[in-house]
Amino acid sequence: MMSLEISNVSVALRGQQILKSVSFEAGAGNCIGIVGPNGSGKSTAMKVLAGLLDPGEGTVKVEGRALAAWTRPELARHLSYLPQNGDVHWPLKVRAVVALGRLPHAPFGAARALDEAAIADAMARCDIAHLAQRPVSTLSGGERARVLLARALATGARVILADEPFAQLDPQHQIHAMEVLKAEASRGATVVVVLHDLALAARCCDRVVVISEGRVAAEGLPRAVLSSDVLRTVFGVDAFIGEHQGSPLVLPIRRRGDLSPVRGSLPHQG
């Protein structure tokens, strides 16, 4: 049984068809990357999976149950959603923001030892323990992004949905945050993450779903899905595709049709 199943989902917003018969699955212990051009429908698909947007057609199942069959408190304990461009609009301290992830388990603020341990663990894994007493409003964009990731992890949910969580992170913290999500999958969670960085998707995801113009254009192992043909057709780029230390390497190098020479040398294959 798959942890997440989205079957033939179509969504229209303001008279425009955003998703068109989208289907894919995500199992426990898997990290699934969703990639695609801007405006292709990736974030809409994530909102449907999170139960924040009703599909006009099709079904979504979580642990084999229709999404509509879950109560909101049940779903809040089971599924953690990190939205695109998330922010905190109050000058709360970092630890208080991360602690919000435990509200589905302790809704009246009666924190237990289990909650305290989950909060401390999430902060340590996201490298923000030293920021615990800082107001979130004083942090950089990248630091706030790590705080919100820690809040999502603190929930201890079996399903984690993250929509472009790395946009404000520097390369070091992008890699670290992706490693954190991979570790969640290795613990048995189902992780679905929207990415623009094709190199991260190729290296870190177990499977990749490519969405283009509201449809699934390709799905499968990164080596198979992130091919030259898909990159040219869907993303409009030529790319270096190779391997580094046993992992696939995808490096977009120029727009499709741009015949200007690529200066410098490309990474070694192998």
Residues 29-45 have a mean pLDDT of 95
What are the structure tokens assigned to 72, written together? 């909101």
Q: Is 51 within the bounds of a domain?
A: yes
Residue 266 has pLDDT above 80, yes or no: no
Q: How many helices (H) and strands (E) does the chain have?
A: 9, 12
- Angle, alpha carbons 125-127-131 (nearest 5°): 130
Q: Which domain holds residue 80?
A: 4-86+157-255
**The pTM is what?**
0.90
Q: Give the CA-trace dihedral at 103, 108, 114, 115, to 10 degrees.
A: 40
Q: Is 101 within the bounds of a domain?
A: no
Q: Is 120 within the bounds of a domain?
A: no
Residues 104-111 have a mean pLDDT of 69
Per-residue pLDDT at 43: 94
Residue 4 has pLDDT above 80, yes or no: yes
- Using one digit for the tens of pLDDT, what is the confidence trace for 71-106? 999 999 999 999 987 777 788 999 999 999 998 887
> CB under 8 Å, gap of 24 or more: what pairs does 217-221 form?
217/36, 219/24
pLDDT bracket for residue 226 (50, 70, 90): very high
- Using one digit for the tens of pLDDT, what is the confidence trace for 186-208? 999 999 999 999 999 999 999 99
**Domain tally, the chain:** 1
Supply the mean pLDDT for the chain: 90
Residue 110 has pLDDT above 80, yes or no: no
Residues 166-179 have a mean pLDDT of 90
Residues 103-116 have a mean pLDDT of 77
Residue 174 has pLDDT above 60, yes or no: yes
Q: Is 104 within the bounds of a domain?
A: no
Residue 269 has pLDDT above 80, yes or no: no
Q: Is 75 within the bounds of a domain?
A: yes
Per-residue pLDDT at 111: 61
Residues 212-228 have a mean pLDDT of 95
Q: Is 122 within the bounds of a domain?
A: no
**Strands 247-255 and 237-244: what pairing?**
antiparallel
Give percent of the chain with pLDDT exceeding 90: 71
- Tell me, what CATH number does 238's domain have? 3.40.50.300
Per-residue pLDDT at 270: 41
